[in-house]
Amino acid sequence: MLEFCKYQLSKFLIQPEKHYIIDYAPKSHSVDISERVKAGVELAKKDGIDLVFLIEDDDQYKPDYINRFGDLTGVDFAGVDNTIYYHIKNRTWGIFSHPYRASLFQTAFRVSAMSKFRWPEHTPFIDIEIWKHARNFKTKFVSESGSIGIKGHDHGKSGGKGHAQTFNKKDHDFSWLKSNVSEEAFKFYMSLI
């Protein structure tokens, strides 16, 4: 999954100044996504990077993903206020609206706005905690990112609860997925089943 994520990043129309890949063997059986995001934020801070986009290796991103956020001058937190999830094993998908917050894989923020953030341990819902913190800052939401949260792949640790869900829209023959991702992405996701 990490290699496919790197491939997707290489296709981004706007290339970030730096990439931080937080990939190490789990230190425990606990959910460690908060620890990993914090490690990335600390690396960015050390390098003087202020604006970060969180990218998760198990999700699908289109090349214009960053472009869709537009101008972020003066914005501390940016995100997409709805999420599309696709469960590859049970062939279901759904769109979830969540005003005033974004899913982790559709979140960007300024490192400087995280200086007083209290990092929770062992929560699969770090995105919710980040967006609670963001309420004290200037935020921007976009309605469509072109990204899809891929669930049901059983690879590595997973945050959130989507990997155990069945969504309300059926895709028996994978036609919806095929029409919403690139040919390379479709082949990759089919290889996970």
| CATH number of domain containing 178 | 3.90.550
Model pLDDT, residue 43? 98
Model pLDDT, residue 154? 56
Residue-wise DSSP of 22-83: -----SSSS--HHHHHHHHHHHHHHTT--EEE---TTSB--TTTTGGG---TT-SEEEESEE
Using an 8 Å Cβ cutoff, are 92 and 171 in contact? Answer: yes
Coil, helix or strand at residue 109: strand
Model pLDDT, residue 155? 55
Model pLDDT, residue 192? 87
Number of folded domains that form the chain: 1
Domain that holds residue 91: 2-191
Model pLDDT, residue 164? 53
Query: Residue ranges of the chain with pLDDT lower than 70?
Result: 153-165
Q: Is the pTM of this model over 0.85?
A: yes
